[in-house]
């Protein structure tokens, strides 16, 4: 499979611009210098920067011929890992409301960390810490209402 990074770079730039454009219509929170548009705008900017770097790399490689896909992409384990990320994102979209953000993310992050070769105890600890910190950041700082699911009424 022959792919050029410039193509993916342009796709990332288009996605970043789309994210920023959509986020510009998000309402601001009264009395706060930031609102719901902050995170998507930051992510969109990151997409644009990374897309630009991919374009530069692709154009440099293009001068010497077409770039080859990373050989790791041909390994079945890599494809399974990539598929697991997509499946977990889709599962979050479908099941986050009834299950809740905290339980779902704790399980999903633990699965991902185990899949990527981490030992069980550190994977569980990192997943729980990351879940609690991200819930605090989104829920308290950005005031994003995350689904409570099965934890509704517990805290």
Q: Tens digit of pLDDT for each residue in 11-65?
A: 999 999 999 999 998 888 777 777 888 889 999 999 999 999 999 988 888 777 6
CA distance 67 to 37: 36
What was the pLDDT predicted at 63? 77
Residue 75 predicted with pLDDT over 80? no
Contacts of residue 58, Cβ cutoff 8 Å, sequence gap at least 6 = 4, 5, 6, 7, 8, 9, 67
pTM score: 0.61
CB 113 within 8 A of CB 127: yes
Instruction: Map residue 68 onto helix, strand or coil.
Output: strand
Residue whose entry in the numeric block shows the structure tokens 């979050």: 92
Q: Tens digit of pLDDT for each residue in 99-129?
A: 999 999 999 999 999 999 999 999 999 999 9
Task: For residue 99, report the phi and psi dihedrals to the nearest 5 degrees.
Answer: -85, -45
pLDDT band at 140 (very low <50, low <70, confident <90, very high): confident
């Amino acid at each position: 499979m022959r792919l050029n990074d410039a193509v993916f770079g342009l796709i990332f730039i288009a996605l970043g611009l789309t994210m920023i454009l959509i986020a510009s219509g998000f309402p601001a929170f009264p009395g706060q210098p930031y609102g719901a548009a902050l995170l998507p705008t930051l992510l969109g900017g990151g997409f644009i920067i990374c897309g630009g770097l991919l374009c530069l790399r692709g154009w440099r490689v293009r001068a010497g011929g077409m770039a080859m896909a990373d050989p790791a992409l041909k390994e079945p384990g890599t494809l399974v890992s990539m598929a697991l990320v997509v499946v977990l994102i889709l599962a979050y979209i479908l099941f986050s409301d009834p299950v809740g953000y905290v339980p779902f993310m704790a399980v999903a992050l633990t699965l991902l960390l185990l899949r990527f070769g981490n030992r069980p105890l550190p994977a569980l600890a990192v997943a729980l810490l990351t879940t609690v910190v991200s819930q605090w950041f989104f829920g308290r700082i950005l005031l994003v209402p995350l689904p409570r699911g099965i934890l509704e009424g517990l805290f």
